[in-house]
């Protein structure tokens, strides 16, 4: 692929305005201030890798403006300008980046591209190595006036050469290098169902003293400690194994001054208030005895201001050996002074690490390696887009050298999965866009047909990734609970969809108990009402608990296979195959009115009594054994 290319963005308008450039540069939450090079002329040059970049200008903090001289992308419902680096010109949308092109570890060259409706689309792609090969182009679907396609060709292991689109002689590209060996994903993780535990909100069973702990009936807030600990998790493992999940993910276990512990004071320690390393080892041992995997959350972008490295910077300033480990803007560095250092989410108590610094990067990678050596089966990588990409590829290589079968789960809020997947970072990455669309479907703001079409297009846009790279979920500790957004019947419908799909899935603690504050949230800072303490072990489980167990029992009987979403009226459906070869249909009525339903043997009915000949009730689902006539 080509080296970085200088791209100049130009905006013309009234003199004296403030103009910011937003876009996939690298993400929409990081604006670039454009200098006014002469009255009314604003210019900024960025060095960009191969790729297709959406962008827009924000003028005086209030007016969004497209670049009138650039192509337009409207497929996501908003008109954005587009620049393509090392690719084609519209109406053919393609770039030589991981979102569109991958020479996979299995030797297959996979290509994704889009063509505007009405324009001529290539019918094949060619590959010239020592001989000429042709690959057929397949239309995957159409979305908002844009056709999207895929193509694949088998490539000899050590081949070099060029490839291109049939009928486009001006577009010839070098054959990319194959994926690195570290792209390996352990087989056990491909369809795993994870259970995420906010550790402080769990049960407490250990003897370690934590003077910060409040009563469980104390209202939840950003400073409330409930005192969940590692021994409490260990005591609950039998019930989680009985629920049917494959693994448990813990929020950070490092020492911290806050309940969430994402802002550690020591990356290399396990909090004594949680039980320390001894309790962690006992938890890992018990999880493995019960056949469960254990994952640890690691947060590397920032630390708490009580961290000794940061305190040394405040004390010794330029003389501190750790000064280069932080994003210092100027000296002297002063506590709570945002003009002197950068902080996470503009919170001065959370100084940002400079992970472009090799020593700082080696420190946090060492912390990840230490956790894997302790025996965890997986790491959850927090806030991946807030750290330099090289951190994650280096971290992956380091932990894979310790244990090849360790898996990495990545938190990605933006649609940056292709740039951080597999050998570039994580085995599975959170799919927030899919979650948002699913919520809209359940709330009646999106039709079943729209959801099916959008999901197919979104998966195409995420590039030639395997389905195992998409970590699907309904909620997590940073979002509203599914039970705060929809009614219990709709939540159970969503669980049926989530757990019978083949992608890896995530359940947030307490979902089986319908845990929710019933306070829809709009901002991250407001998430504390939803970070409720786990109900006590003696709590009588609601119907959702039994449903999850049933769904996970059925999930274990299904083959690892691709699925295609379909929509007929308000019914969303997909097909699955049982290990014994039986063909199943999963049908979900996403509306308030009954919908026609073909007959057949009902294996599972959700929110209704099994009635094969009756219409599918509102917000009901059925799993039906398909009969071939």
3-state secondary structure (DSSP) of residue 524: helix
> For 534-561, what is the mean pLDDT?
96
- What DSSP state is assigned to residue 225? B
Residue with tokens 């490295």: 309
410 and 336 fall within a common domain: no
> For 425-444, what is the mean pLDDT?
97
List of residues 6+ apart from 353 with CB closer than 8 A: 300, 301, 302, 303, 325, 326, 327, 360, 364
Tabulate helix, strand, coil % of the chain (nearest 5). 25, 30, 45
> For 345-373, what is the mean pLDDT?
97
Is the residue at 436 inside a domain?
no
- d(CA 473, CA 480) in angstroms, rounded, equals 12
339 and 361 fall within a common domain: no
> For 330-337, what is the mean pLDDT?
96
Alpha helices (H) along 358-507: 358-374, 389-402, 432-442, 448-461, 482-485, 488-500
Structure confidence at residue 524 as a pLDDT band (50, 70, 90): low
592 and 522 fall within a common domain: no
> For 352-380, what is the mean pLDDT?
98
612 and 600 fall within a common domain: yes
CB 440 within 8 A of CB 221: no
Domain end call among 556, 579, 601: 556
614 and 516 fall within a common domain: no
> For 489-493, what is the mean pLDDT?
98
DSSP 537-552: TTPPP-HHHHHHHHHH
3-state secondary structure (DSSP) of residue 306: coil
pLDDT of 191 > 80? The answer is yes
Structure confidence at residue 530 as a pLDDT band (50, 70, 90): very high
Is the residue at 508 inside a domain?
yes
- What DSSP state is assigned to residue 345? G
pLDDT reported for residue 2 = 55
> For 613-629, what is the mean pLDDT?
88
Is the residue at 458 inside a domain?
no
Q: pLDDT tens for residues 241-253?
A: 999 999 999 999 9
**Chain-wide mean pLDDT for the chain?**
95
CB 544 within 8 A of CB 513: yes
Q: pLDDT tens for residues 124-142?
A: 999 999 899 999 999 999 9
Identify the CATH number of the domain in which residue 591 sits: 2.60.40.1180
> Cα 195 to chain center, whole Å?
15
Q: Which of 586, 580, 568 is nearest to 626 (CA)?
A: 586
CB 80 within 8 A of CB 67: no
288 and 310 fall within a common domain: no
pLDDT reported for residue 518 = 84
Domain end call among 363, 398, 428: 428
3-state secondary structure (DSSP) of residue 137: strand
Identify the CATH number of the domain in which residue 306 sits: 3.90.400.10
**Total domain count for the chain?**
6
- d(CA 446, CA 591) in angstroms, rounded, equals 10
List of residues 6+ apart from 37 with CB closer than 8 A: 43
Domain end call among 522, 556, 590: 556
pLDDT reported for residue 1 = 47
Is the residue at 448 inside a domain?
no
Is the residue at 570 inside a domain?
yes
pLDDT reported for residue 103 = 95
CB 110 within 8 A of CB 104: yes
Structure confidence at residue 210 as a pLDDT band (50, 70, 90): confident
Flag whether the pTM goes above 0.75. Answer: yes
Token pair recorded at residue 234: 């260990």
Which H or E element spans position 409?
A: strand 407-410
> How many CB atoms sit inside 10 A of residue 524's CB?
11
Identify the CATH number of the domain in which residue 498 sits: 3.20.20.80
- d(CA 378, CA 408) in angstroms, rounded, equals 6
Number of residues written out for the chain = 629
Q: pLDDT tens for residues 447-482?
A: 999 999 999 999 999 999 999 999 999 999 999 999
10 and 26 fall within a common domain: yes
Please list, residue by residue across 255-293, b when 16 or more beta carbons sit within 10 angstroms of its beta carbon and e when fewer do. Answer: bbebbbbbbbbbbeebbebbbbeebbeebbebbeeeebb
Provide the terminal-to-terminal Cα distance of the chain, rounded to the nearest Å. 51
Is the residue at 488 inside a domain?
yes
pLDDT of 629 > 60? The answer is no
> For 158-180, what is the mean pLDDT?
93
DSSP 315-340: HHGGG-TTGGGB-B-SSS--TT-TTT
pLDDT reported for residue 525 = 60
pLDDT reported for residue 523 = 62
Is the residue at 460 inside a domain?
no
551 and 578 fall within a common domain: no
- d(CA 593, CA 2) in angstroms, rounded, equals 54
pLDDT reported for residue 263 = 97
DSSP 73-92: E-TTSS-EEEEEESB--TTE
State how far the alpha carbon of 268 is from the alpha carbons of 276, 365, 367, 374, 384, in Å.
11, 10, 5, 11, 20
Beta bridge partners of 295: 249, 378
- d(CA 242, CA 231) in angstroms, rounded, equals 18
135 and 156 fall within a common domain: yes
pLDDT of 590 > 60? The answer is yes
pLDDT reported for residue 136 = 95
Burial of 435: CB neighbours in 10 Å, binned 0-12, 13-18, 19+: buried
66 and 101 fall within a common domain: no
Identify the CATH number of the domain in which residue 126 sits: 2.60.40.10
Is the residue at 440 inside a domain?
no
Q: pLDDT tens for residues 22-78?
A: 999 988 988 999 999 999 999 999 999 999 999 999 999 999 999 999 999 999 899
168 and 132 fall within a common domain: yes
Which residue range(s) make up the domain with 590? Answer: 566-625
CB 328 within 8 A of CB 357: no
294 and 195 fall within a common domain: yes
Structure confidence at residue 613 as a pLDDT band (50, 70, 90): confident
> For 427-450, what is the mean pLDDT?
97
- d(CA 226, CA 232) in angstroms, rounded, equals 12
């Amino acid at each position: 692929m080509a080296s970085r290319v200088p791209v100049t963005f130009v905006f013309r308008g009234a003199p004296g305005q403030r103009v910011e450039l937003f876009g996939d540069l690298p993400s929409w939450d990081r604006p670039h201030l454009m200098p006014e090079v002469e009255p009314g002329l604003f210019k900024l040059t960025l060095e960009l890798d191969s790729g297709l970049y959406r962008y827009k200008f924000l003028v005086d903090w209030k007016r969004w403006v497209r670049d009138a001289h650039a192509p337009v992308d409207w497929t996501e419902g908003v008109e954005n300008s587009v620049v393509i680096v090392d690719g084609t010109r519209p109406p053919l949308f393609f770039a030589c980046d991981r979102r569109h092109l991958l020479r996979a570890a299995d030797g297959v060259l996979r290509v994704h591209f889009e063509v505007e409706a009405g324009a001529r689309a290539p019918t094949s792609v060619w590959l010239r190595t020592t001989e000429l090969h042709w690959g057929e182009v397949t239309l995957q679907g159409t979305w908002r006036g844009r056709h999207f396609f895929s193509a694949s060709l088998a490539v000899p292991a050590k081949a070099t050469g060029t490839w291109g689109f049939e009928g486009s002689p001006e577009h010839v590209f070098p054959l990319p290098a194959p994926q690195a060996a570290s792209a390996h994903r352990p087989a056990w993780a491909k369809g795993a169902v994870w259970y995420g535990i906010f550790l402080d909100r769990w049960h407490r069973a250990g003897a370690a003293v934590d003077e910060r702990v409040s009563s469980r009936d104390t209202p939840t807030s950003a400073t409330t400690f409930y005192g969940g600990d590692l021994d409490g998790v260990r005591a609950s493992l039998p019930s989680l194994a009985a629920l049917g999940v494959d693994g448990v993910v813990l929020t950070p276990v490092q020492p911290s001054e806050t309940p969430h512990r994402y802002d550690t004071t020591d990356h290399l320690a396990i909090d004594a208030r949680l039980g320390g390393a001894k309790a962690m080892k006992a938890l890992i041992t018990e999880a493995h005895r019960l056949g469960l995997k254990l994952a640890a959350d690691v947060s590397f972008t920032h630390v708490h201001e009580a961290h000794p490295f940061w305190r040394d910077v405040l004390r010794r300033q330029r003389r501190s050996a750790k000064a280069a480990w932080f994003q210092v803007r100027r000296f002297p560095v002063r506590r709570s002074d945002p003009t002197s250092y950068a902080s996470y989410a503009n919170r001065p108590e959370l100084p940002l690490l400079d992970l472009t610094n090799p020593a700082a990067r080696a420190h946090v990678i060492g912390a990840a390696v230490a956790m894997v050596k302790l025996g965890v089966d997986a790491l959850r990588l927090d806030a991946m887009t807030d750290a330099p990409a090289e951190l994650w590829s280096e971290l992956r290589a380091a932990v894979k050298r310790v244990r090849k079968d360790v898996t990495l789960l990545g938190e990605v809020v933006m649609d940056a999965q292709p740039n951080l997947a597999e050998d570039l970072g994580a085995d599975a990455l959170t799919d927030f866009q899919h979650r948002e669309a699913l919520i809209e479907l359940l709330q009646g703001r999106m039709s079943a047909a729209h959801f099916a079409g959008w999901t197919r297009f979104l998966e195409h846009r995420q590039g030639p990734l395997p389905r195992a790279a998409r970590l699907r979920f309904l909620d997590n500790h940073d979002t509203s609970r599914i039970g705060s957004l929809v009614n219990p019947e709709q939540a159970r419908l969503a669980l049926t969809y989530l757990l019978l799909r083949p992608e890896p899935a995530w359940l947030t603690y307490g979902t089986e108990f319908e845990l929710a504050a019933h306070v829809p949230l709009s901002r991250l800072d407001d998430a504390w009402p939803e970070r409720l303490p786990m109900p006590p072990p003696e709590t009588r489980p609601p119907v959702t608990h039994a449903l999850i167990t049933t769904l996970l029992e059925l999930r274990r009987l299904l083959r690892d296979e691709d699925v295609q979403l379909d929509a007929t009226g308000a019914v969303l459906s997909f097909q699955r195959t049982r290990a014994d070869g039986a063909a199943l249909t999963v049908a979900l009525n996403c509306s308030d009115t009954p919908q026609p339903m073909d007959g057949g043997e009902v294996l599972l009915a959700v929110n209704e009594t099994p009635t094969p000949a009756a219409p599918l009730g509102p917000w009901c689902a059925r799993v039906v054994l398909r009969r071939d006539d």
